Structure 1
Amino acid sequence: MRNVSEIIEHYLKQTLLQSPNGVIEIQRNDLAERFQCVPSQINYVISTRFTIEKGYLVESKRGGGGYVRIQKVELSSQGTILDHISRTVGDHIDQTTAEGLIYQLLEGEFITTREANLFKAAISREVLAFKLPLRDEIRATILKAMLIALLSR
């Protein structure tokens, strides 16, 4: 059985898919009431599962009429994808951000589950047993090289 966070995430993703412009605006309290949870549970889901690394832009407005706006960043062309990879990875990248990028490419069906698992294995901190910041620099170089080679077919 799925937990509340997974149910909320699924609901938000389905709502985004049904949105004509790829943007949704929600109120934390309304969503918390709908799923019978506390608003901090909504905050947790949004802050951990709707990150820029995973392909989402989140804007939050606090106050009485506050809302959260979630927008899916679409990677539609190969040039856009390669540009996004270059910007996201840069000269160094931590493991969490790298895995978020891999997740985004997997979710967009630009890479397969098998390829995603290979990427994760190659860039893990257990494999890259170097001290920081060298580890993040090596991870960036490996990740960019692998993704560009794969996606430039």
Structure 2
Amino acid sequence: MRTYDLTPFYRSTVGFDRFFNLLDRAATDGSPGYPPYNIERTGENAYRITVAVSGFSQNELSIVAKENTLTIKGEKSVTENDNKADVLYRGIAARAFERAFQLADFVQVKNASLENGLLHVDLVREIPEAKKPRTIPIATSAAAPQVIDGSAEKAAA
């Protein structure tokens, strides 16, 4: 069984704790290793899930993003040509699969592509402006408070 150590990500990122916890939990949920997959970080807020789906065509795969769950399903369609061939050894798995990934808040599927037997699903984390951190200016105590209306000046005179 493969294990992924996400410790370097915990040390170098702040605010993504839940995202990496979900990825860590997805890797250790006891699900079978079929089909194998990779999770890559391709940018500051961009990620890519690559799933090895050799033998599956585009119309045999489905990708569904619902709430914070990304589900990738594959069902091999049975053709008459498969039944006519006398297979001596079947080493290429062609069984149906369903792989689910838990996504963090504000992570959305950007696009998906199938090339050379690999299904690439690109994800992006788009944080709304209201949730982004903002810089607060620090005022010095030497600055005099501003007078809002002229009543204070009249009272001093």
Name which structure has the greater RCO, CA cutoff 8 Å, separation 6+.
Answer: 2
Which structure features the higher share of strand residues? 2
| TM-score, scaled relative to structure 1 | 0.24
| TM-score, scaled relative to structure 2 | 0.23
- Which is greater in Rg? 2
